[in-house]
Chains A and B, each alone.
Chain A
Amino acid sequence: MESQQLRAIIASARAGDEEAYRQLLAAYGRRLYGYFYRATRSHHEAEDLLGEVMLRLVRRLGDYQHRGRFESWLFSIAANLVRDRIRRARARASPMSLESGGDGDASLGESLDGGAEPADRALLAGEASGLLAEALEQLDERSRHMVLLRHFGEMSFKEIAEVFQCPVGTVLAKVHRALKSLRAILEREQ
């Protein structure tokens, strides 16, 4: 979406125009959904989070300053939502730290439901034997979200570094290792 057009849509949305919000949803909804789905591995959670992020958008759009990129701002909200939900789910399921990664680092879908829902399993079966999803699960949480934000949010490394409050070099190092690992799995599939 062009900057001028986006600016006009944001102005209309701030004035409470429903059509403007529909346009924002049409422009970013699919990418947000993809991010939420890959982050939670649950279609149900992804839809719920998409609704939640749009409601936050309605509430916070007045605070948005059109200096940086809108989608980075939007995906930062999305990342915080996912992080909060995972934190709450883990607090209910186990005392595991959010910062810990690797072993036992289950997805939100698994934390909530003990695994992907049947409908999700069917969908996952249709994509490269679900190995990509499993490979994503093998990544530590930060690396997984960095890869997802880089792809779905088209965020710069600097923007991702701001979300995770770490040096930009650290972001690239984690993304690089994660991408290598995922690519290796995809190549094995082929």
Chain B
Amino acid sequence: MNATNEDYELVARYLDGEEVTLTAAQLALAEEVVSDGRQVGRALEVPSPAGTLHRVHGRMVRHLRPASRLWRRVRWAAPVAAAAAAAVILALVLLPGGPARPVPEPTIAAADYVDHFTRSPTQELDLRVDLLAEELAVYHVRLALNGSWEFETAVAGVEEEMEDLLLGDEADAAPMLETWEEPL
């Protein structure tokens, strides 16, 4: 059969599954194409060498994984960047005066310095006086309970110590503590 272009077109559409009415010659052409295709197709088959698909799969996986890693990084980077931006905005809004305002350096007036240094020794002295007063109270209680003169003498000594401590200078006060160990 000397097929024309029109024959080939109709037969091609028929072989592609279209509803086409063919002449007997066109139908014979279609059958010949199918038959030749089957015969040649069997001969064309070629096995792939061992390991080919495995190697290709490895290549494909290597290509896929960096993309996945990058995607994981990008996936985390976006929320982290958003959170950081939100934190900066919050800081700008909530901080009084905003971060552009210079933070004032701490300053103490001269009068405060004087007050600080004069007050601190006093407080220390007050503590020591309080301690002695407590001891004195204990001695008074014991004296009342026991009626012993020894205790009264001791209390008188403590009172003297207190007077010296309060009225005398520190140089005099320190040796007086040692005298407590001497027999009264």
Q: Does any Cβ of B come within 8 Å of A186's Cβ?
A: yes
Q: With A and B bound together, what is the CA distance between A38 and B39 in angstroms?
A: 16
Q: Which residue of A lies closest to B7 (CB)?
A: A169
- Taking a contact as CB atoms under 8 Å apart, the answer to whether B33 and A176 are in contact is yes
Q: Does any Cβ of B come within 8 Å of A182's Cβ?
A: yes
Residues of A13-56 at the interface with B, using a CB-CB cut-off of 8 Å, are 16, 18, 21-22, 25-26, 29-30, 33-34, 37-38, 43, 46-47, 50-51, 54-55
> Which residue from A21, A29, A55, A168 sits with its C-beta under 8 Å from B48?
A29
- Taking a contact as CB atoms under 8 Å apart, the answer to whether A157 and B16 are in contact is yes
With contact pairs A30-B48, A127-B46, A172-B9 given, residues A186 and B16 touching in the complex (Cβ less than 8 Å): no
A30 neighbours in B (Cβ, 8 Å):
47-48, 53
- Taking a contact as CB atoms under 8 Å apart, the answer to whether A34 and B43 are in contact is no
Q: Which residue of A lies closest to B53 (CB)?
A: A29
With contact pairs A151-B44, A168-B9, A183-B36 given, residues A51 and B15 touching in the complex (Cβ less than 8 Å): no
Q: With A and B bound together, what is the CA distance between A49 and B9 in angstroms?
A: 32
- Taking a contact as CB atoms under 8 Å apart, the answer to whether A25 and B53 are in contact is yes
Q: With A and B bound together, what is the CA distance between A46 and B60 in angstroms?
A: 15
B17 neighbours in A (Cβ, 8 Å):
156
Q: Does any Cβ of B come within 8 Å of A86's Cβ?
A: no
With contact pairs A21-B60, A172-B8 given, residues A179 and B37 touching in the complex (Cβ less than 8 Å): yes
Q: Which residue of A lies closest to B29 (CB)?
A: A176
B59 neighbours in A (Cβ, 8 Å):
51, 54-55
With a 10 A CB-CB cut-off, give which of B8, B12, B60, B63 has the most chain A CB atoms. B12
Residues of B18-53 at the interface with A, using a CB-CB cut-off of 8 Å, are 29, 32-33, 36-37, 39-41, 43-49, 52-53
- Taking a contact as CB atoms under 8 Å apart, the answer to whether A58 and B40 are in contact is no
Q: Which residue of B lies closest to A189 (CB)?
A: B43
Q: With A and B bound together, what is the CA distance between A29 and B53 in angstroms?
A: 7
Minimum Cβ distance to chain A for residue B44 (Å): 6
Q: With A and B bound together, what is the CA distance between A51 and B63 in angstroms?
A: 10
With contact pairs A54-B60, A170-B5, A183-B36 given, residues A43 and B45 touching in the complex (Cβ less than 8 Å): no
- Taking a contact as CB atoms under 8 Å apart, the answer to whether B60 and A51 are in contact is yes
With contact pairs A55-B59, A58-B63, A128-B43 given, residues A34 and B9 touching in the complex (Cβ less than 8 Å): no
Q: With A and B bound together, what is the CA distance between A170 and B3 in angstroms?
A: 11
Q: With A and B bound together, what is the CA distance between A156 and B36 in angstroms?
A: 16
Minimum Cβ distance to chain A for residue B9 (Å): 3
A38 neighbours in B (Cβ, 8 Å):
44, 46
Minimum Cβ distance to chain A for residue B148 (Å): 97
Q: Does any Cβ of B come within 8 Å of A171's Cβ?
A: yes
Q: Does any Cβ of A come within 8 Å of B129's Cβ?
A: no
> Which residue from A16, A158, A168, A180 sits with its C-beta under 8 Å from B68?
A16
- Taking a contact as CB atoms under 8 Å apart, the answer to whether B67 and A16 are in contact is yes
With contact pairs A54-B56, A157-B12, A173-B5 given, residues A150 and B63 touching in the complex (Cβ less than 8 Å): no
**9 examples of A-B residue contacts, CB within 8 angstroms:** A38-B44, A50-B56, A51-B55, A147-B40, A167-B9, A168-B8, A168-B12, A172-B15, A179-B40
Give 4 new A-B contacts, CB below 8 A, not counting A16-B67, A33-B52, A34-B48.
Answer: A33-B46, A151-B44, A169-B7, A176-B8
A-B pairs, top 5 by smallest CB distance, nearest first, are A169-B9, A179-B36, A169-B8, A157-B12, A172-B12
